[in-house]
Amino acid sequence: MKMELVQAELHKHGEAIITTSGGQTFELHTGDVQFDLENRVIRFRSSGADFIIDGDSVEILQQHFSHLDND
């Protein structure tokens, strides 16, 4: 999946859970993530660690919602 799609969906929802081709799962939040389109990496800081992920290795993008619409 192209990292531009991940960036757009994160911007749209404010939060996203991604799973990479290596099977690792990360929860991303809008203010904590930088998309380096030139080097094709996603950078973010989590408690106690800095991460640099191959931006195009994302295989699954998941959004979860804090509540369901009952309309």
Residue 69 lies in a domain: no
Residue 51 lies in a domain: yes
| Residue pLDDT, tens place only, 27-46 | 999 989 999 999 999 999 88
Residue 21 lies in a domain: yes
Query: Could you give the number of structural domains in the chain?
Result: 1
CA dist., res. 71 & res. 56, Å (int): 36
Question: Encoding tokens for residue 49?
Answer: 């660690």
Q: What is the pTM of this model?
A: 0.83
Amino acid 65: pLDDT = 67
Structural domain span for residue 28: 3-62
Which domain CATH number covers 39? 2.30.30.100
Check pLDDT > 50 for residue 71. no
State CA 48 to chain mean position distance.
18
Residue 67 lies in a domain: no
Mean of the per-residue pLDDT values of the chain:
89
Confidence category of residue 66, pLDDT binned at 50, 70, 90: low
